[in-house]
């Protein structure tokens, strides 16, 4: 199925990994806007399913669905799905975020043109961003302690292992302009 992905086209595929609210979404938005990148998120698959079965898109539901899919169809099921979607994408630059596990990463490591970028940030800064963005219902009510506990949850515990495999690192403790500058450096030098 994925033995010869993207064989006829040369694409750059940037996978982003990082802990909650590190700036993956901001990096994706910038790459889409400035470089016209095609973009994907692991959570989009899960959100599509939750919408289809008329369930709320809470972090708990996303995590439970993700865990069930991985148990039922393999730890790399979401990566296989994204890779097939990306194969159909005509863009020469593709970016996606949400890699959480090594089996997911291994699917993309086989694809020519793939690079992994880790985004890091101070937990307190990330918590403030997390509360402000309120991506999922109830996020803005989480305590800092609960935020830190979530980092060790079943869906996030392997992220540090994946981050160690990265080709590049972006530190997102600063302002958006600094994040953009680091993304540009990767595009220019990567």
> Which CATH number belongs to the domain containing residue 32 in this structure?
3.40.50.300
Cβ atoms of 63 and 154 within 8 Å: the answer is yes
- DSSP line for 34-93: HH--EEEEHHHHHHHHHHHTT----HHHHHHHHHHHHHHH-TTHHHHHHHHHHHH---SE
Per-residue pLDDT at 7 exceeds 70: no
Per-residue pLDDT at 133 exceeds 90: no
Asked whether residue 51 is domain-assigned, the answer is no
pLDDT at position 8 is 44
Per-residue pLDDT at 148 exceeds 70: yes
Asked whether residue 160 is domain-assigned, the answer is yes
> Per-residue pLDDT averaged across 110-132, rounded?
94
> Per-residue pLDDT averaged across 61-71, rounded?
93
CA dist 144 and 173 (Å) reads: 17
> Per-residue pLDDT averaged across 116-145, rounded?
90
CA dist 160 and 158 (Å) reads: 6
How many domains are there within the chain?
Answer: 1
pLDDT at position 110 is 93
pLDDT at position 190 is 62
pLDDT at position 6 is 37
pLDDT at position 152 is 79
Asked whether residue 66 is domain-assigned, the answer is no
How far is residue 159 CA from its own chain's centroid? 10
CA dist 172 and 68 (Å) reads: 32
Asked whether residue 48 is domain-assigned, the answer is no
Asked whether residue 64 is domain-assigned, the answer is no
Percentage of residues of the chain with pLDDT beyond 90: 72
Per-residue pLDDT at 68 exceeds 90: yes
pLDDT at position 9 is 46
CA dist 97 and 25 (Å) reads: 7
Asked whether residue 67 is domain-assigned, the answer is no
pLDDT at position 154 is 64
CA dist 187 and 33 (Å) reads: 14
Per-residue pLDDT at 151 exceeds 90: no
The band of 172, judged by pLDDT with boundaries at 50, 70 and 90, is very high
**In 3-state terms, what secondary structure has residue 173?**
coil
Domain encompassing residue 93? 12-42+77-189
> Per-residue pLDDT averaged across 99-106, rounded?
92
**In 3-state terms, what secondary structure has residue 19?**
coil
Asked whether residue 101 is domain-assigned, the answer is yes
> Per-residue pLDDT averaged across 29-34, rounded?
97
Per-residue pLDDT at 182 exceeds 70: yes
Asked whether residue 100 is domain-assigned, the answer is yes
């Amino acid at each position: 199925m994925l033995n010869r992905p993207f064989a006829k086209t040369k694409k750059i595929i940037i996978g982003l990994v990082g802990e909650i609210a590190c700036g993956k979404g901001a990096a994706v938005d910038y790459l889409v806007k400035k470089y016209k990148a095609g973009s994907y998120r692991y959570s989009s698959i899960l959100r599509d399913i939750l919408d289809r079965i008329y369930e709320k898109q809470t972090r708990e539901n996303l995590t439970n669905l993700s865990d069930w899919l991985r148990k039922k169809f393999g730890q790399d099921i979401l990566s296989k799905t994204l890779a097939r979607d990306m194969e159909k994408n005509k863009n020469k630059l593709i970016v996606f975020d949400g890699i959480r596990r090594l089996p997911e990463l291994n699917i993309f490591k086989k694809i020519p043109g793939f690079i992994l970028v880790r985004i890091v940030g101070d937990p307190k800064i990330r918590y403030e961003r997390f509360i402000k963005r309120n991506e999922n219902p109830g996020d803005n009510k989480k305590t800092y302690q609960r935020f830190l506990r979530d980092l060790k949850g079943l869906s996030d515990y392997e992220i540090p292992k994946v981050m160690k495999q990265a080709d590049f690192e972006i530190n997102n403790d600063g302002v958006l302009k600094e994040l953009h500058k680091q993304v540009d450096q990767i595009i220019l030098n990567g």
